C-alpha cells in the first residue's frame, strides 16, 4: 500500500469512526468507565440540597456560615487495544475482512477515549508480540494507531492470546481499560486471562464471519489453513466432517465465553455482517 492510498484509508476511517465516537459513544464511554476516584477541587458556600457530610468545618467556623468541599472525578484513564493480526483475521465472505472490522472498532474506541482525554496504547499480536505502542494522548497518536492497524505486516500468521495477555501484564502496572480484539480461535489462555483481569478492566471482542460457523456441503474442496498455510482436500459432503468442524468451532467459542466470564471480564460478539455500533452501544449501556 503506497503512502497516498494509506493516508486516504486512514482519513476514511477517521471520518467514519470519529463521527460515531463523537455522537454515540463519547457519553456512554465516559459513564461506563469511571475514573480512579474523587479528588478535592474547591470550597464553596453551602447550598440547599448539598450533602452535609461534605461540610468543611474549619472554613465554616472561620466565616461563621456553612461551606462545603467540592470534589471532582479523577478522570484520566488508560485504554489498551490488544489486536490479533494473525492470518485468520484476513478472512471474510461478505463485505469486509475480520481485520477491517477490528480496525474500525479499535478506531472508534480510540477516538472515544481521546474525547475523554484518556491515553491510548496498542499491542498487535500473533503467536508473539508484533508491535507495542505505549499509551499516549492526542489525535496524531490515534491516527498512528489506525495506520499501524491498516498496514502492519505481521511476521507470523499463528495466534497465541496468552502471550499477548502476559505482555500486557508485564508492561501495564497500573489499571487500564483493555479491549482484546480477536476471533479467539485459540485456547490455553484462561489462566493468563484470570491474572490480567485482576488488575485490568478487560473486555473480549470476538469478530467472526457467519461462514466460519459451519461448512456447507460442496463435495471435495481444497482448503487452506490461514495460520499455517497448509493446503488440504476436505470432503465437505461428509456429515461427519461437517459435524466435527462445527463441534471444533463451538468448543472454541464456548472456551472464549466461559474464560472471559469466569475471569470477571466482559464479552462482545460481532459478526462481520452485523452492526458493531449496536453491539458496542448495547454493551456500554448494560455496563453503565
pLDDT on residue 1: 58
CB-side neighbour CA atoms (13 Å) of 178: 29
Measured CA to CA, the distance from residue 121 to residue 132 in angstroms comes to 8
Residue-range domain boundaries for the chain: 3-32+77-287, 38-73
Q: Which pLDDT tens digit goes with each residue over 76-98?
A: 789 999 999 987 765 545 567 88
Residue 24 confidence (pLDDT) = 60
What CATH number has the domain spanning 3-32+77-287? 3.40.50.410
Task: Supply the pLDDT for residue 94.
Answer: 56
pLDDT of 18 = 74
The SS3 call for residue 272 is coil
Contacts of 91 (CB under 8 A, 6+ apart): 97, 98, 209, 212, 226
Q: What nine digits make up the cell of 192?
A: 493468563
Please say whether the beta carbons of 280 and 25 come within 8 A. yes
pLDDT of residue 31: 65
With a cut of 50, list the residues of the chain below it in pLDDT. Answer: 92
Amino acid at each position: 500500500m503506497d503512502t497516498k492510498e494509506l493516508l486516504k484509508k486512514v482519513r476514511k476511517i477517521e471520518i467514519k469512526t470519529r463521527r460515531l465516537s463523537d455522537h454515540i459513544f463519547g457519553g456512554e464511554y465516559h459513564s461506563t468507565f469511571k475514573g480512579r476516584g474523587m479528588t478535592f477541587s474547591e470550597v464553596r458556600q453551602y447550598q440547599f440540597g448539598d450533602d452535609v457530610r461534605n461540610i468543611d468545618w474549619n472554613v465554616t467556623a472561620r466565616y461563621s456560615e456553612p461551606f462545603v468541599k467540592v470534589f471532582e472525578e479523577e478522570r484520566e484513564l488508560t485504554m489498551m487495544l490488544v489486536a490479533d493480526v494473525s492470518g485468520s483475521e484476513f478472512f471474510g465472505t461478505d463485505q469486509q475482512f475480520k481485520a477491517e472490522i477490528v480496525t474500525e472498532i479499535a478506531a472508534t474506541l480510540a477516538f472515544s477515549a481521546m474525547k475523554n482525554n484518556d491515553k491510548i496504547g496498542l499491542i498487535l499480536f500473533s503467536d508473539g508480540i508484533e508491535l507495542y505502542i505505549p499509551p499516549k494522548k492526542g489525535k496524531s497518536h490515534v491516527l498512528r494507531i489506525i495506520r499501524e492497524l491498516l498496514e502492519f505486516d505481521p511476521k507470523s500468521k499463528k495466534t497465541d492470546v496468552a502471550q499477548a495477555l502476559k505482555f500486557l501484564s508485564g508492561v501495564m502496572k497500573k489499571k487500564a481499560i483493555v479491549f482484546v480484539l480477536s476471533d479467539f480461535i485459540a485456547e490455553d489462555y484462561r489462566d493468563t486471562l484470570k491474572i490480567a483481569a485482576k488488575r485490568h478492566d478487560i473486555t473480549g471482542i470476538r469478530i467472526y464471519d457467519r461462514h466460519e460457523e459451519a461448512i456447507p456441503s460442496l463435495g471435495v474442496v481444497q482448503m487452506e489453513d490461514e495460520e499455517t498455510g497448509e493446503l488440504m482436500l476436505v470432503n465437505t459432503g461428509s456429515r461427519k466432517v461437517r459435524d466435527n468442524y462445527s463441534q471444533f468451532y463451538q468448543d472454541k467459542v464456548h472456551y472464549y465465553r466461559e474464560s472471559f466470564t469466569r475471569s470477571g471480564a466482559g464479552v462482545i460478539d460481532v459478526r462481520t455482517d452485523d452492526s458493531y455500533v449496536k453491539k458496542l452501544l448495547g454493551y456500554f449501556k448494560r455496563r453503565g
